[in-house]
Amino acid sequence: MAMKLYDLDVSGNCYKVRLLCALLDLPVELVPVDFMSGAHKQSPLIDLNPFGQVPVLEDGNLILRDSQAILVYIARKWGGETWLPTDPEPMARVMQWLMVAENEIPRGPGDARLHDKFGMKLDIAAAREKAALILELMERHLQDRDWLALDRPTIADIACMPYVALGWEGGVPLGPYPGVSSWVERIKQLPRFIGMPGCEGSVPCPA
């Protein structure tokens, strides 16, 4: 039986789960969530995730919320040592970037996109300032490496890429950050890569 993913196509957090499943060639049943009508706050989704958020992954009797936790589960169950190693040091290197994907990136380019694309009321100046800080850090980090955590792509890259690549939808383009832009393009060249609205595989994300 295929896993079931409660999904929103314009959500970067849902997309990172879809992307990892595609890269691992894993079957997954997508259950679209009508976010605009508030379906995420109603049954059956609110019964699966009391936080009322997507994505939610259903794998048999297991219900998981939070995109980073879902990436960890999928990587360890089906990805072997490649996407999330079990050795303490490389695992920690991956996990520290998962924390960035949970904090600095959504509060920077993620919030800027929420403001510009979806009309959410928030401090856009603060969001763009945070976006500049994390992108400058990532640019320096990627000067002498191809991937965020290890010498190969891991779920650190999958977790961090979506809202960085979609930052242009919030007035945070990647033009000033050529190292980050090249990193996004390397991810897009991975076998079985799939895109999402605003960051398609065949067309570069706007700079």
Task: Give yes or no for a contact between 8 and 32, defined as CB atoms under 8 angstroms apart.
Answer: yes
Residues 115-124 pLDDT 10s:
999 999 999 9
From CA 8, how far away is CA 138, in angstroms rounded? 27
Q: Which two tokens stand for residue 169?
A: 């939808």
On whether residue 198 sits in a domain, the answer given is: no
On whether residue 194 sits in a domain, the answer given is: no
Using only C-alpha atoms, the chain has a radius of gyration, in whole angstroms, of 16
Beta bridge partners of 57: 5, 64
Same domain, 87 and 180: yes
Residues 126-165 pLDDT 10s:
999 999 999 999 999 999 999 999 999 999 999 999 999 9
Q: What percent of the chain has pLDDT over 70?
A: 94
CATH code for position 50: 3.40.30.10
Same domain, 98 and 65: no
Q: Which two tokens stand for residue 83?
A: 């996407």
Same domain, 138 and 179: yes
Average pLDDT over residues 90-104: 98
On whether residue 63 sits in a domain, the answer given is: yes
- Which of 48, 50, 68, 67 lies closest to 58 in space, CA to CA? 48
Report angle CA 56, 90, 132 to the nearest 5 degrees: 70
Same domain, 86 and 173: yes
Same domain, 103 and 11: no
Same domain, 94 and 182: yes
Q: Which two tokens stand for residue 16?
A: 């990172």
Least confident piece of the model among 49-53, 111-115, 122-126, 194-198: 49-53
Q: Which domain holds residue 173?
A: 82-188
Same domain, 174 and 99: yes
Same domain, 76 and 98: no
pLDDT at 165: 98
On whether residue 32 sits in a domain, the answer given is: yes
Residues 29-39 pLDDT 10s:
999 997 776 66
pLDDT at 49: 85
Edge-first strand listing for the sheet containing 62-65? 28-32, 3-7, 56-59, 62-65
Answer yes or no: is pLDDT of 26 > 80. yes
Average pLDDT over residues 161-173: 97
pLDDT at 39: 60
CATH code for position 92: 1.20.1050.10
Same domain, 60 and 50: yes
194: Cα within 13 Å, side-chain hemisphere: 16
In total, how many domains does the chain have?
2
Same domain, 65 and 132: no
Same domain, 124 and 31: no
On whether residue 57 sits in a domain, the answer given is: yes
Same domain, 58 and 128: no
